[in-house]
Amino acid sequence: MRVNRDVLGQALEAQLAKVKNVYPFKTVSRRARIWTNVTPAEQPAIFLVKVRETLDQTTWGAPRYRLAYLALCYLRADAAPNLIPEVEINKVLDAVDGVLLGTPPGEKQTLGGIVENCWIEGDIMIDTGILDQQIVIVIPVSIVTGI
């Protein structure tokens, strides 16, 4: 890996923090907490957690790594009396999509040139907060390191 793992995590957190420019997140952090420990005053919140690494040494040369992260998004369904959970969930997803797109859109997201690509990959899990008013969105994010 040509870039230190912690530098990659910091770069992804910095990129994800740009979401505050398009959605009113109050908390963005790599120090994850379970939603029951995130007060309504700290929400909407987004936490980043690395959950897996995969090594690819199929070609001669330096190995490539695929790092898997989860972006854990928490927001309260009862934050406004007329709030429709799906509308807010869609706003969050659009905001996160937007900051992880490359520039121009369609290009790879290289986190400032330190990785080969970073993108949302896989199923996004959504709890609409129908039972307890706590919305939870889990967004899988992949990073492939360059060689």
Q: What are the tens digits of pLDDT across the range 24-45? A: 999 999 999 999 999 999 999 9
Q: Percent of the chain, pLDDT > 70? A: 95
Query: Per-domain residue ranges for the chain?
Result: 5-144
- For 5-144, CATH number out of 3.30.70.1700, 3.30.2320.20, 3.20.20.150, 3.40.50.300 equals 3.30.70.1700
How do strand 27-29 and strand 45-56 relate by DSSP bridges? parallel
Q: What is the mean pLDDT of residues 107-136?
A: 93
